[in-house]
Amino acid sequence: MKQMILINGWELFDNQSDYHTFLEECPRDLFEEKKSWKWWLCDAVSEQLHCIRPSMPCKRNAEYKARKIWFEKYFQHLQDEIILVWHSLWATFIIKYLSENSFPVKINQIHLVCPLLDIEWIKDWERPGKLLWLNDFIIDLTRVSNISDTTKDLYIYHSKDDTVVPFNHSKRLNELLPNAIFEVFETRWHFMQPALPELLDNIWIYTR
């Protein structure tokens, strides 16, 4: 069965003190049931694709090097063709990874949902007034065009009303990757929604 890799997001902090403060102040309802398009997508493609959702270390205080090591452990389980679906800061990870490294199998599609390129125009929405710190996730933008060589089908999705990752990030990414299909939305914010049918429709182009 063909495969798809889909991974959740994370948090970034510039020091341990800020990380501990976040944990203390972050509201948490243990009984809250959140609906995400990521789970919906895995269910929707289950008959055609094996959905791989790697569990990454340190979700609340991420480090690129640690995640690169862990991500590459999954390579031994990959087959000949794959679809990559990445959201927000995870899109930052795969943009950096593919611009610097080769991938072990053929990538049929890459889907980047509201990708973050750098800290330009960014204010951390959970800690108002504090700039987001990218730690070692910083991307060399001069190498981003390398991604065009990894797949023939590249999609970018972004909503103009996104206050987490401003729309201009995808606009700039599309300038670096002009062959990408750029799907623009008006009122989807940061795609914190139960379904993303437009992305699913593009996956069907490959699977059917």
2-20+33-207: CATH topology: Rossmann fold (3.40.50)
Query: Mean pLDDT highest for which of 130-134, 142-146, 148-152, 204-208?
Result: 142-146
Question: Is the confidence at residue 198, as pLDDT, over 90?
Answer: yes
Q: Where are the domains of the chain?
A: 2-20+33-207
pTM, full prediction:
0.84
CA distance 44 to 32: 23
Q: What is the pLDDT of residue 131?
A: 46
Percent of the chain with pLDDT over 70: 77
Q: What is the pLDDT of residue 132?
A: 53
From the list 195, 181, 191, 200, the residue with the least C-alpha distance to 49 is: 200
pLDDT tens by residue, 96-111: 999 999 999 999 999 9
Question: Is the confidence at residue 176, as pLDDT, over 70?
Answer: yes
Q: What DSSP string runs through 153-167?
A: EEEEEEETT-SSS-H
pLDDT tens by residue, 25-69: 565 554 444 567 888 999 999 989 999 887 776 666 678 888 899
State the pLDDT confidence band at 152, using cuts at 50, 70 and 90. confident
